[in-house]
Amino acid sequence: MRTPAEVPGTDRHMPGRGRRTLIVTASMGAGHDTVAAELARRATASGHEPHVVDLLELLPYGLGTGLRRCYRASVRHFPWAYAGVYGAFLRTGTGPRPSGVPLARLAAGRLTALVDRLDIDVVVSVFHLAAQLTGHLRQRGGLRVPSAVFLIDFAVHRQWLHPGNDRYLCLTDRAASEVRRALGTPVVTTGPVVSPAFLDPAPGAARWRERFTGLAPGRPAVLLSAGAWGAASRPVGTARLLAGAGYLPVVLCGRNERLLARLDGVPSVLALDWVEDMPGLLAACHALVDNAAGQTAVQALASSLPVVGHRPLPGHGAEGVRRMAELGLSEYAGDGRALLTALGRLPAGGRERAERAARGHALFRHDPMEYVAGL
């Protein structure tokens, strides 16, 4: 690994000038962008100058738009297709696998031009193809500034991993161990990042509780997350199961208008589109039923809201949901009966609920940007 002083043109610690950080995200749902925005906020608060770029916009010939549309269609309508792609390209294991570098390299010229134009000091990737690109460029001398990878998944898949990157920042010690074993690259366990609003008392929770009470008095609200794209397996059936068991199912439909319309007609179910006050909503609910181990699950951990994995999305969603359960951060419910049993073990003030909340809060260890600033 080269230090900034060893890389030509990166000795820039001039008085009054913060570090210029380029954060490379991807508009695949909202999780990557949410993480990038929080990292940028932290960099600004520390006196640095962040810039955020979408890798998909750097790909030529409209490839980024096509990639996003194909991924969205597969997770919404053809999950078996994404499971095949994940098994071929992303799943770890022995034997030769296709690399993400050839696709990522198509964005190389635009990325390096942006680094030069903005006079960037360090690049941070929060998307796996971006990690492939920066690692490839660093390994071949095409990127003159250090590159860090913030690996935002609980389960590490192979497309996050490239030995050319200077440092990896991981959510858990287990993920950090896997990266270290695979690459030998410096790794730090920082934990996830969320807005401080999720860790502080949420003033909006009272309004959500009033709304829930008005709709279904005495029914604990259970939040079902379908992500920004409203991708979920049998959400109507799960909502009906919960309603029949005495809960108020609150379904996050994201940007999926068809899912919102389907659930609007289901009795005793509250269907929501895009929600701005997520801290308040999470604080007002009894539990989160999660299918992706993504940013909504992380926000729930920060909010002391228990997480139950159920009907996970294929590929990295299923692996992440199971990994969270293995780490004691959530519980995995393989069927409807197991889901109701898991929810029944989480009464307000109960020991298991308190222990789960403590494990979730312990995950948030360090600010990743502190380790980026040291590169």
Within 10 angstroms of residue 74's Cβ, the number of other Cβ atoms is: 21
Is residue 6 very low, low, confident or very high in pLDDT (cuts 50, 70, 90)?
very low
- Report, as an integer, the average pLDDT of 119-147: 96
Please report which helix (H) or strand (E) contains residue 170, including its range: strand 167-170
> Which tens digit of pLDDT belongs to each residue from 215-234?
999 999 999 998 888 888 89
Rounded to the nearest 10°, the torsion over CA 118, 121, 125, 130 is: 60
Give 270-313 as a 3 state SS string.
EEECCCCCHHHHHHHCCEEEECCCCHHHHHHHHCCCCEEEECCC
Ranking 4-8, 169-173, 212-216 by mean pLDDT, the lowest is 4-8
The answer on pLDDT for 269 being more than 90 is: yes
> What local confidence, expressed as pLDDT, does residue 245 receive?
97
What is the residue type of 21?
Answer: T
- Report, as an integer, the average pLDDT of 41-46: 96
Residue 92 to residue 158: CA distance in whole angstroms: 5
Within 10 angstroms of residue 83's Cβ, the number of other Cβ atoms is: 18
> What local confidence, expressed as pLDDT, does residue 97 receive?
58
Is residue 78 very low, low, confident or very high in pLDDT (cuts 50, 70, 90)?
confident
Residue 141 to residue 198: CA distance in whole angstroms: 40
What is the residue type of 121?
Answer: D
Residue 31 to residues 126, 153, 223, 370: CA-CA distances in angstroms?
10, 10, 18, 21
The answer on pLDDT for 95 being more than 60 is: no
Placement of tokens 């299918």 in the chain: 291
Q: Which residue has the higher pLDDT, 45 or 80?
A: 45
Q: Which residues pair with 109 in a beta bridge?
A: none
Ranking 84-93, 221-230, 275-284, 300-309 by mean pLDDT, the lowest is 84-93
- For the chain, domains (ranges, CATH) are 4-189 (3.40.50.2300), 196-362 (3.40.50.2000)
Residues 6 or more apart whose Cβ sits within 8 Å of residue 267: 243
Residue 61 to residue 172: CA distance in whole angstroms: 37
pTM: 0.91
Residues 6 or more apart whose Cβ sits within 8 Å of residue 228: 29, 30, 31, 254, 255
* Residue 105 Rama label (left phi>0; alpha psi -120 to 50; beta): alpha
Share of the chain above pLDDT 90, in %: 78
Please report which helix (H) or strand (E) contains residue 225, including its range: strand 221-225
Q: Evaluate whether 232 touches 311 at the Cβ level (below 8 Å).
A: yes
- Cα angle 193-282-252, degrees, rounded to a multiple of 5: 100
Tabulate helix, strand, coil % of the chain (nearest 5). 45, 15, 40
> What local confidence, expressed as pLDDT, does residue 80 receive?
72
Q: Which residue has the higher pLDDT, 1 or 229?
A: 229
> Which tens digit of pLDDT belongs to each residue from 148-178?
999 999 999 989 999 999 999 999 999 999 9
Residue 253 to residue 179: CA distance in whole angstroms: 34
The answer on pLDDT for 83 being more than 90 is: no
